[in-house]
Amino acid sequence: MSTGFPSILWFDKGSLNPDPYIGRGSLKGLSKFATKKLGINVPLREFSTILVDVDDSNFDGIVLNNLEHAMVEFYTDWCGACTSLQPVYENVAKSFSGEVELVIVRCDADKNSR
């Protein structure tokens, strides 16, 4: 599914076919992507938060079989770009939290087969 890291994929509600995020790993870029996919405008906020981690045991339930859209970051611990993206991705997750039917999660690609 993924060809490089970090990879961010959007899963529409009920869809098994994700759309990849192609762009800079910035708060503005990721927020614009989510806003376009959802068709709404959510104000950006700066936060520190812990993202929900998904793995092989809960990926289907949280991402594929959920009644919400899902944006999933596939990362690795050895990837410098992944580390740089982390605070940005967390801010996007918190900004959209509770606003829409969207779950924003991350998945360690080294430890999981997704």
Q: What is the pLDDT of residue 15?
A: 83
Q: What is the pLDDT of residue 109?
A: 93
- Of 3-17, 43-57, 72-86, give the lowest mean pLDDT range: 43-57
Q: Give mean pLDDT, residues 49-70.
A: 81
Name which residue leads in pLDDT, 79 or 103.
79
Q: What is the pLDDT of residue 111?
A: 93
Q: Give mean pLDDT, residues 57-81.
A: 87
Annotate 20-77 with DSSP letters as a single string: E--S--SHHHHHHHHHHHHT-----------PEEE-TTTHIIIIISSSSEEEEEEE-T
Q: What is the pLDDT of residue 97?
A: 74
